[in-house]
Amino acid sequence: MLEELQRRNYNIDTIRGYILAVEQFAQYFHKSPEWMGIDEIGQFQLHLLQEKKLALGRIALRMSALRFLYKKTLKRRDLDFDDLPLRKKPKKLPVVRSPEEVTRLIEAAPNLLYRTLLLLLYATGLRRSEAAHLKVSDIDRSLMLIHVQQGKGSRDRKLPLTQKVLDALCEYWRAAKIKPRVYLFPTRKEPTEQEKPISDKVVWNACH
């Protein structure tokens, strides 16, 4: 399944979520999904809904993972996922924070890394995995653009870079004891270490 997802160029977050969903499904019944079918899938859906009390969106993700497993990887033609509908979640408008509230939230960050990440996310609309994998070379000061490489849908795009965000990135750069060489937000703690980007979980923690 992992090879099939990679071959179809699914992004790393989707791959991670799909593999985890199948793992949870197998663990719940203590047997390989290869030996299960629509009855077990329905029971698992009820388990997630009634016992785990997961949000409908998270359940839908798990159902999509199982659909991919059975339809694309195992080539099972005997399963009809249309027999397992989820009730639609009521759509509500999001709560919009005032600029003052957003400023207070960003300024409340406990360290410069988190503050820089929050400001970057708010000003650009970057997804957390996109922010985590930004490279130094993606910041174009001459054109005041941020180049997003292979974002959602494996697409490249360009975002405007405001002076405030640029100033924040420069402040973060000056404060770094070990200057980033490749990735804007690396995990490297020693100069001789191999440079890797932070996990998107770090960005999640900053928002949390």
Structure tokens at 54: 């997961």
CA distances from 93 to 12, 90, 96, 202 (A): 29, 10, 9, 27
pLDDT tens, position by position, 91-134 = 778 888 899 999 999 999 999 999 999 999 999 999 998 999 99
Report CA-CA distances (Å) from 161 to 8, 11, 96, 110, 135: 32, 25, 23, 24, 14
Taking the CA atoms of residue 174, residue 120, residue 205 and residue 93 in that order, the dihedral angle to the nearest 10 degrees is 160
**Where residue 55 falls among pLDDT bands split at 50, 70, 90?**
confident
Q: What is the mean pLDDT of residues 134-145?
A: 94
The pLDDT of residue 96 is: 87
Task: Please tell me the predicted confidence (pLDDT) of residue 149.
Answer: 86
Identify the structural domains of the chain with CATH numbers, from first to last: 2-83 (1.10.150.130), 99-207 (1.10.443.10)
pTM of the model: 0.63
